[in-house]
Structure 1
Amino acid sequence: MSEAAFVRIEEVTRTYRRGGEEIHALDAFSLDIPQGGFYALMGPSGSGKTTLLNLLGGLDLPDAGRVLVDGEELAGLSGSERAQWRADNVGFVFQGFNLLGVLTALQNVELPLLLTPLPRRRRREQALYALELVGLADRAHHRPRELSGGQEQRVAIARALATDPKLILADEPTGDLDRKTADAVLDLLVRLNQEFGKTIVMVTHDPLAADHARHVVHLDKGKLGRIEENPPRGAAAANPTEGAAPESGT
């Protein structure tokens, strides 16, 4: 395995019971992701993509093996410690946006900051800055029903950025968007990866969405398949040596 791995998944197994059936969501799965990587996870339904994302976010724990993020083994933390770790280090982006309809865009973005010791004024400034990053400062006081689907997802991305997390986990972030809007959201993720160095792991069924990532990891029945490297996009295209694929743990 690469010594420089930011995310390290070592021989992870996760098994569930559904009725009387035992389902191996992940089976001795290993993968290294470097800091600043942009990885797409692809595979058929039931291949383990969302399970892997939940493990990376500390929402679930493996039955065997280890998950480390920036050197922190998540299974070694208590439930409350994992919750705090998640609040400090991870931003989540979901297919369904998960915005609260009674709150404005600014208030939605500010929500994760309520878990920090920041004073109210600083929280508001940081939330507004996140909206500026996604180009929606002028929609700060609009509620979700007053926004388009693409704008809602950009607000959701701003919310994920509000705490300046090291890791962004995106679960089908363009699944509810048309192609043009989806591409705009994906271009934003590319920018966050390239300009701000965010490590991004994205689950998707869409090959066109996966094309925006630097590496595409294929899963099949809980096992690691192949890893593909995409040509760089945007600013990274000027540096062809950037983003070489790390070793997998298989």
Structure 2
Amino acid sequence: MTTADTLLLRCQEAARTYGHGPEAVVAVNSATCQVHVGDRIAITGPSGSGKSTLLHLMADVEQPTAGEITWPGLPRIPAHGQVGVVVQEPALVPALNVAENAALPLVLAGVPRERAHIRALHCLSVVAATDLAHKMPTELSGGQTEHVAIARTLATSPRLILADDPTGHLDRATGRRVIDMLLAAADEAGAALVVTTHDPAVAGRLRKRWAMHEGRLHLSPRPLPPAKAAAKPSAPGLPEEADTAQYVVRKLPEVTLAFWIMKIAATTLGETAGDLFAQTLRLGYFLTTIALFLMFVVTLLVQLRAKHYNPFFYWPVIVSTSMVGTTVSDFMNRDASSRYLAKGATTLGWGPQGLGLGYPAGAAILISLLIAIFVAWNFTGQTFVIRDIVTFRGEALFWSAILVSNTLGTSMGDFLSDSSGLGYAGSALLITGILLVLVTLIRVPAVPNVVLFWIAFVLTRPLGATAGDFLTKPTAKGGLDLGTAGSSAVLLTILFAFMAYGHFRARARGGEAHGA
């Protein structure tokens, strides 16, 4: 990626003078600078040095009296939402609640109120202010008002965010949280961020530092590293939504064809690996479920503590939820009767032998639990769109839904393969056909894509279950008899190759962006 490709804004000898003749005041004097995609810039300087005026020029709020300012990286002029501005001591509309204030720019732009409200709730979640949605402006503290103003700015998905001394009137702790939220908002929108400040601690949180003195802009010769304190969460353990911007960045993958291939491979591996431990090694469903659930907890903690999406963190959680789902489903639905025992076995392994609920009852329990999770998810106002999940609460709900849906998918897959009469290949073909129907519905406006995504996400689990059974079961039962160990090894190799490809591709993109 070249420098020209990443350029959002260019100031060329831009100046702003108020008045004429001897009384003229030069607020900005021949400022030349560029802002690129991904920039995090602090502009420091004393009061009256021209910082705010320069931001007004960048936002197209004021016009330069000399020189020029252009926005080559923006498809429309800044006034139409491409540039978001957070002003000093922002004001909210007193008659509107917090959610309505956050949605206001979209409503004024003609976006339907329901869509604007959903977007506003998502933006409030990014700045850890979802709980404030129904409060009125008079009920907010200064820091909370700043959070809502940032969410309002984020609502239009700006490419450039300009914040004018957002912490100047706040105490140090509240100011730190506001900067956390600004960084989170910029990460969420993929926007460049420019902040004016008097506070060296605030400036130290951003990668570049410029300075204004008597109207003149002085550029730092090279990027400055963020302050060390910004790299650490405020408390040990899991990150808190309100205290750390390092957590609130995109940590889940983009949904592409490679994503679905990896999802099917991961869920199939979960089926074969779960059966390897529970059946081939004869550990039993109960003991295997305990061991695999502990593995799930460990992989989940690694994922939750990560600061960004890493395929080597994300996909092991998917595999572990699939393995746990396999053994939990089998433990719920099966018992020690001969139909479920391997040849020559007399028990299902150590511990309780299974609940024997059967597939219909087990599926009904899991469907009810999954619906309850989605209802709770909707009640919190968190987004269901995987690429927009950026908060700890949203990711926790996501993984809860994944664990239950993978368990449900195992039950569905086993029912189709073992009890429906379709067999392994027939079941896989049926689910594949349903998935193809979902693909054709993507362009149907009446069907929300997020609904199609979650239906497909659930259905890929029974597809993995039937595919896993097809690979491992004996030929007499319609399988390929490749064995659980051999099938797991092949699937693990495929999944690892995709994870490595995704990891190195992401690093290459990051290198291009930093080298621009």
TM interval, shorter chain, is 0.7 to 0.9
1:19, distance to aligned residue in structure 2 (A): 8.8
In structure 2, the partner of 1:65 is 67
In structure 1, the partner of 2:19 is 17
- For 1:111 and 1:33, the matched residues in 2 are separated by 27
- For 2:132 and 2:74, the matched residues in 1 are separated by 37
Number of residues of Structure 1 aligned to a counterpart in Structure 2 = 235
In structure 2, the partner of 1:218 is 211
- 1:230 partner amino acid: L
Contact 1:187 1:212 in 2 (8 A): no
In structure 2, the partner of 1:169 is 162
Q: Which runs of 5+ in 2 are unaligned?
A: 232-245, 247-306, 309-506
Does residue 93 of the first structure (1) align with residue 86 of the second (2)? yes
Contact 1:37 1:193 in 2 (8 A): no
1:5, distance to aligned residue in structure 2 (A): 2.2
- 1:167 partner amino acid: L
Please say which of residues 188-197 and 145-154 is displaced more in the overlay: 188-197
1:195, distance to aligned residue in structure 2 (A): 5.0
Distance 1:44 1:244, change over 3 A: farther
- Partner of 1:51: helix, strand, or coil? helix
- For 2:193 and 2:511, the matched residues in 1 are separated by 19
- Structure having the higher strand fraction is 1
1:197-223 Cα shifts (integer Å, max 9, x gaps): 221111111111111111111111222
- 213, 216, 224: which one aligns with 1:230: 224
Identical amino acids, percent of aligned pairs: 39
Please say which of residues 167-176 and 221-230 is displaced more in the overlay: 221-230
Query: Which of 1 and 2 has higher RCO (CA within 8 Å, sep 6+)?
Result: 1
- Structure with the greater alpha carbon radius of gyration: 2
1:154, distance to aligned residue in structure 2 (A): 0.5
Does residue 113 of the first structure (1) align with residue 112 of the second (2)? no
TM-score w.r.t. length of structure 1: 0.84
Does residue 182 of the first structure (1) align with residue 175 of the second (2)? yes
Q: Which residues in structure 2 correspond to 1:19-168 (within 5 Å)? A: 20-71=22-73, 85-168=78-161
- For 1:51 and 1:68, the matched residues in 2 are separated by 16
- For 2:515 and 2:170, the matched residues in 1 are separated by 29
- For 1:37 and 1:226, the matched residues in 2 are separated by 13
- For 2:179 and 2:38, the matched residues in 1 are separated by 16
- Partner of 2:27: helix, strand, or coil? strand
Contact 1:216 1:229 in 2 (8 A): yes
- For 1:194 and 1:114, the matched residues in 2 are separated by 24
1:72, distance to aligned residue in structure 2 (A): 5.8
1:71-121 Cα shifts (integer Å, max 9, x gaps): 469xxxxxxx95xx4232121212212112221101111111123232121
Does residue 192 of the first structure (1) align with residue 194 of the second (2)? no
- For 1:243 and 1:208, the matched residues in 2 are separated by 26
TM-score w.r.t. length of structure 2: 0.42
Distance 1:193 1:230, change over 3 A: farther
Contact 2:74 2:159 in 1 (8 A): no
- 1:122 partner amino acid: R
Runs of at least 4 residues off by over 6 Å? 239-243
- 2:225 partner amino acid: P
- Partner of 1:95: helix, strand, or coil? coil
Contact 1:154 1:185 in 2 (8 A): yes
- For 2:189 and 2:113, the matched residues in 1 are separated by 25
- For 1:72 and 1:226, the matched residues in 2 are separated by 23
- For 1:141 and 1:18, the matched residues in 2 are separated by 49
1:13, distance to aligned residue in structure 2 (A): 1.7
1:45, distance to aligned residue in structure 2 (A): 2.2
- 1:231 partner amino acid: P
- Partner of 2:16: helix, strand, or coil? strand
Question: Alignment RMSD, CA only?
Answer: 2.7
1:245, distance to aligned residue in structure 2 (A): 9.5
In structure 2, the partner of 1:78 is none
Contact 1:94 1:171 in 2 (8 A): yes
In structure 1, the partner of 2:242 is none
Contact 1:214 1:229 in 2 (8 A): yes
1:150-169 Cα shifts (integer Å, max 9, x gaps): 11110110001111111111
